[in-house]
C-alpha cells in the first residue's frame, strides 16, 4: 500500500509516522533525508535478514516501533523503541525482528543494505520525497 505524498513545505519537519504509513514492504529502505554525504532512511522489517558487514562504514540503527535484535558474532543486541545501536564498520551482523519493526538508519549514501553479502534482498534506498 503506497499512500500519496503530503506536500512538502519549506522548513517543515519530517513526520516519521506519516512517512512510515506510506509503505508496507519489508527490508526495503526508504530515504527520507540527506545529511552531508549520508542518507537518513526508514525501514520496516519482519523476520530475519542476511549476515553481512559493511567494510568501510559504521551503521546506526534507531528503533521507532517494535523490537529489533541485531545478531553479532560475539552476542546479540536487543533494541526497543527509542533505543539505538551503532554497528561498527567491518562487524558481521544479522538484523532479526519477530514482529513488524520500524527503524531509522543513518549511513553514507550508496551503501547497499546487504553490505558484503549481496543477494536477492539487496535494495537501493528509494526516496520518499
Global pTM exceeds 0.75: yes
Q: What is the number of residues in the chain?
A: 129
- Better-predicted residue by pLDDT, 25 or 117: 25
- DSSP for 87-112? EPTT--EEEEEEEEEEEEEEEETT--
Q: Which domain holds residue 48?
A: 23-116
Relative to beta strand 126-127, strand 75-79 is unpaired
Is 22 in contact with 41 (CB distance < 8 Å)? Answer: no
C-alpha cell at 97: 525482528
Q: Can you give the CATH number for the domain in which 105 is found?
A: 2.60.120.10
User: Does 94 reside within a domain?
Assistant: yes
pLDDT 10s digits, 72-95: 999 999 999 999 999 999 999 999
Asked, for residue 92, whether it belongs to a domain, the answer is: yes
pLDDT value at position 36?
A: 94
**Number of domains composing the chain:** 1
Give the pLDDT score at 45. Answer: 96
Q: Has residue 45 been placed in a domain?
A: yes
* Alpha-carbon span 85 to 9, nearest angstrom: 31
Amino acid at each position: 500500500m503506497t499512500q500519496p505524498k503530503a506536500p512538502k513545505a519549506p522548513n517543515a519537519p519530517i513526520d516519521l509516522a506519516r512517512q512510515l504509513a506510506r509503505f508496507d514492504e519489508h527490508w526495503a529502505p526508504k530515504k527520507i533525508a540527506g545529511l552531508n554525504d549520508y542518507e537518513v532512511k526508514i525501514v520496516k522489517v519482519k523476520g530475519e535478514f542476511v549476515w553481512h558487514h559493511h567494510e568501510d562504514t559504521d551503521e546506526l540503527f534507531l528503533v521507532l516501533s517494535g523490537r529489533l535484535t541485531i545478531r553479532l558474532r560475539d552476542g546479540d543486541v536487543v533494541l526497543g523503541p527509542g533505543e539505538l545501536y551503532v554497528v561498527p564498520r567491518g562487524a558481521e551482523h544479522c538484523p532479526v525482528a519477530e514482529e513488524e519493526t520500524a527503524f531509522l538508519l543513518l549511513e553514507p549514501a550508496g551503501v547497499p543494505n546487504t553490505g558484503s553479502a549481496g543477494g536477492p534482498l539487496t535494495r537501493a534506498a528509494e526516496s520518499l520525497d
